[in-house]
């Protein structure tokens, strides 16, 4: 167990951040799944910017790697184009 006050605070803050990152990542994954289930091109055009924005925010905060974000966006754009 931690002995220093700062270490105890670090444990508390890192747990809070972990939970928030987990929530954001899960929410984005759900949005991606919903986007991939879309079959209407108009709906996909409308939903695409918000999903891409969520992915960019995860990459910016280092929750996911920048290359993974690029791959996800590329695959979603391909899906949108194929409709």
Domain extent listing, the chain = 32-83
Q: Residue 78: phi, psi to the nearest 5? A: -65, -40
- Full-model pTM: 0.90
Residue-wise over 34-52: b if at least 16 C-beta within 10 A, else e? ebeebeeeeebeebbeebb
- Say if residues 42 and 82 touch (Cβ distance below 8 Å): no
pLDDT at 21 over 90: yes
pLDDT at 49 over 90: yes
Helix (H, G, I), strand (E, B) or coil at 3: coil
Q: How far apart are CA 18 and CA 50, in angstroms?
A: 23
């Amino acid at each position: 167990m931690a002995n220093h006050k700062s270490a105890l605070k670090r444990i508390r803050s890192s747990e809070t951040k972990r939970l928030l990152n987990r929530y954001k990542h899960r929410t984005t994954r759900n949005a991606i799944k919903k986007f991939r289930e879309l079959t209407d091109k108009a709906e996909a055009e409308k939903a695409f910017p918000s999903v891409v924005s969520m992915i960019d925010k995860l990459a910016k905060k280092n929750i996911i790697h920048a290359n993974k974000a690029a791959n996800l966006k590329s695959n979603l754009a391909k899906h949108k184009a194929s409709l």
